[in-house]
Amino acid sequence: MTGARPPRIGLFGQFGIGNLGNEGSLEAMVRFLRECAPDAELVSICTDPDFVARTYAIDAVRLQTEGPRSAAARMLNRALLGMPSRLANIAHTFKQASKLDVLLVPGTGILDDFGESPFGAPYEIWRWCLAAKLNNVKIGFVSIGAGPIVHPLSRVLMKAAARAARYRSYRDLPSKAFINSIAMHTPQDPVFPDLAFGLPTPPQTSRTDGPITVAVGVMAYYGWSGAPDEGEGVYQTYIAKLSAYVVWLLEQGHRVKFVIGKDKDVDAVADVCARVLAQVPQLEHLIELFEPANDLHDVMRQMEAADIAVVTRFHNLVSALHVGRACISLGYARKNHALLEEMGLGAFSQEVESFDLETLKTHTNELIATRTEHETRIRRKVADYEIQLKNQERLLAEEFLRGASSVGVAGPAGIEPQPLARPVAH
């Protein structure tokens, strides 16, 4: 491009939907870009641009247009099978993409179809990547999660989006293996840690002797598809088993701290509490006052105040490990297990829809007894992750962002200028 205007960098994702992990990924990328390319114009392409613009002080546009507002226009849109809205979204996407120099997808599990139909997130990312590619915009997927993609059409759309990217890195080996299995054989694509490991660690608080505190990360989990006909049964089974586990924790004399990872998880916490207090109301004093979290910094502070964590959401797991807490995972995808394996905690992982309560109790006792040695290993690994993420920042600055415009792009702060070898998968 010509001229001396600053580069315009788009940050694509489902931001502003109350998912704290997504917000943490966006925050980490904004922090990096403000150091690396301080003159760049940042614009988030997201679900709730008002929230994002207010929170991160950057420009923001909607993933899609808001649709017809008048009743007559809505009726006409329905009569035409939604084609006016579809065409308006295409025009909106190409108009906004033409203004960009770079389009980045910062982290998140962007390439899976958890709770999504093909015409939700899969179609959105395909449409934006196609528009960016046709406008000669450089596309980068940075420390993303991928797979599974269950619906065949979702797989086609997301495969095409992945192929359009000039830079791809994955937050774990299963994500890289999945994309290579469906889209392309690209062994040169690096694996770097989740972007949230690059966020600042909260100050450590003094821990006093007393009852063990277990942070229980509760999720409003309705199955992979979230379909109403099956989701409610999945949810009730999960809540019943988790409630039984919390009752057992209280009966052991442990304290319980409930933690969320998305705003709608608050209702799930209320459901667990109701079941627990119906069974052991006399132990209510062992349940700590629930603190809603506004971001991953809140989650990390809550995890830091516990002794161990038992979680379902991936970024609850990341937050607990980030502050050195040993964890048990009741996950719904391989990402949780892959991360625990890297931390030497792979044995403490079960699947959310089939976890065995007695096994969970056994794991809890084992982890409490060995938590100190696990914490030492976790902190070493997290420190290594921070180094790896700095390496990725240098890679992006030197090989991807440089040349986005005639304005120079600086190296990330605190990094010595040195050749960067392609990283070894962590």
Percent of the chain residues topping a pLDDT of 90: 81
The pLDDT of residue 372 is 95
88 vs 33: which has the higher pLDDT: 33
Q: What is the mean pLDDT of residues 255-259?
A: 98
Window from 93-107, 297-311, 394-408 with minimum mean pLDDT? 394-408
Task: Indicate the average pLDDT of the chain.
Answer: 90
Task: Determine how many CB atoms are found less than 10 A away from the CB of residue 301.
Answer: 16
Phi–psi pair at 122, nearest 5 degrees: -60, -45
Q: How far apart are the first and last CA of the chain?
A: 37
Alpha-carbon Rg of the chain, whole angstroms? 22
What lies within 8 Å, CB to CB, of 139 at 6+ separation is 102, 103, 104, 105, 129, 132, 133, 164, 165, 166, 167
Q: What is the pLDDT of residues 309-327, one digit of tens each?
A: 999 999 999 999 999 999 9
Nearest-angstrom CA–CA distance, 177 and 305:
36
Q: Is 361 exposed, middle or buried (0-12, 13-18, 19+ CB in 10 A)?
A: middle
Q: Which amino acid is at 28?
A: A
Specify the pTM: 0.91
Which parts of 6-137 fold into alpha helices (H)? 20-36, 49-56, 71-79, 83-97, 121-134
Domains parsed from the chain with CATH numbers: 8-199+384-401 (3.40.50.2000), 213-381 (3.40.50.2000)
Nearest-angstrom CA–CA distance, 140 and 68:
32
Work out the pLDDT band at 33, boundaries 50, 70, 90.
Answer: very high
